[in-house]
Structure 1
Amino acid sequence: MTTEAFEDIAETFEFLDDWEDRYRHVIELGKAMPPLDDAFKVPATKVEGCASQVWLLPRIEGEGGGARFDFLGDSDAMIVRGLIAILHALYSGQTLEEVLRTDAAAALGRLGLDEHLSSQRSNGLRAMVARIRKLAGEAVAA
């Protein structure tokens, strides 16, 4: 299950043959993302397990599994900001139940990220996905 925004990114990746072009596109996605206000860059929003500094701030509208999920995010590394933008495209606007059902590994695998990211970046990406799933699960349970 993916969003239209994520499908647009996947189509762009299919069009870009060279990984360096894809890498530049990821960075451009990150540059286009609004920065997270420094007031939200606190331990409660920090994602552990990332080599770079990463913060994710959930924004959930509604209650229960049908509530809509969104988040703001930021990083001190441009490539990671781009990865956050990709995750935002994957999850933003989904219900909490949809977030929990989304196979992020399969969706991100379509982009070939694991083949080209360093092991530290891949681990960080998995940590961000785990944090998003945890936030959605906690919101459903609340």
Structure 2
Amino acid sequence: MASPAFEEIVETFEFLEDWEDRYRHVIDLGKAFPDLDPAFQVPAFKVDGCASQVWLRPMVDGSGPDARFGFQGTSDAMIVRGLIAVLHALYDGLTLEQVGRVDAVAELARLGLNEHLSSQRSNGVRAMVERIRKVAAEG
């Protein structure tokens, strides 16, 4: 159920053989990801459970079963900002119901992230995924 944007990241990762190149690619994704307006970098959008500072501003377009999920986000750590961009590619534009059905662990495993992130970063990704799923469930 991955989006074309996420599939493109998967394809790029398959092309990049060495983890350092993949790590650099994640950082590049973060650099290219649009900034979150500082006005939204407030406690209501802060994600707890991340070692670095992370803010996710969810946005739901529409209502009912056709409502589409999206978010803006940022972090003070470049690798985490890249991980936010990866999650954005995974979830952006899905219906709220589809967001709840995404197996983020399995999708991210396709990138090999599980084996190469520190436990703190992995916990942070889990916290971001939980926040995304919670917002989608609440509609």
TM-score normalised by the chain length of structure 2: 0.99
Partner in structure 2 of residue 117 of structure 1: 117
Give SS of 1:93's match: coil
Correspondence list, 1:52-131, <5 A: 52-131=52-131
Q: Confirm or deny: 8 A CA contact 1:69 1:136 kept in the other structure.
A: yes
1:8 aligns with 2:8: yes
Q: CA deviation at 1:49?
A: 0.3
Partner in structure 2 of residue 35 of structure 1: 35
Query: What CA distance in whole angstroms lies between the structure 1 residues aligned with 2:91 and 2:101?
Result: 11
Query: What CA distance in whole angstroms lies between the structure 2 residues aligned with 1:74 and 1:138?
Result: 22
Q: CA deviation at 1:89?
A: 0.1
Give SS of 2:43's match: coil
Query: What CA distance in whole angstroms lies between the structure 2 residues aligned with 1:44 and 1:108?
Result: 26
- 1:51-85 Cα distance to aligned partner (Å, 9 max, x none): 00000001111112320001000000000000000
Q: CA deviation at 1:4?
A: 0.3
RMSD of aligned alpha carbons: 0.6
Query: What CA distance in whole angstroms lies between the structure 2 residues aligned with 1:130 and 1:41?
Result: 19
Q: CA deviation at 1:93?
A: 0.6
Query: What CA distance in whole angstroms lies between the structure 1 residues aligned with 2:82 and 2:76?
Result: 11
Identity %: 73
Which sections of structure 2, spanning at least 5 residues, go unmatched? Answer: none
How many residue pairs match? The answer is: 139
Q: CA deviation at 1:34?
A: 1.0
Q: Which runs of 4+ in 1 moved over 4 A?
A: none
Query: What CA distance in whole angstroms lies between the structure 2 residues aligned with 1:65 and 1:128?
Result: 23
Q: CA deviation at 1:114?
A: 1.0
Q: Confirm or deny: 8 A CA contact 1:68 1:93 kept in the other structure.
A: yes
1:20 aligns with 2:20: yes
Query: What CA distance in whole angstroms lies between the structure 1 residues aligned with 2:126 and 2:112?
Result: 14
Q: Confirm or deny: 8 A CA contact 1:69 1:92 kept in the other structure.
A: yes
Q: Confirm or deny: 8 A CA contact 1:66 1:97 kept in the other structure.
A: no
Query: What CA distance in whole angstroms lies between the structure 1 residues aligned with 2:93 and 2:10?
Result: 18
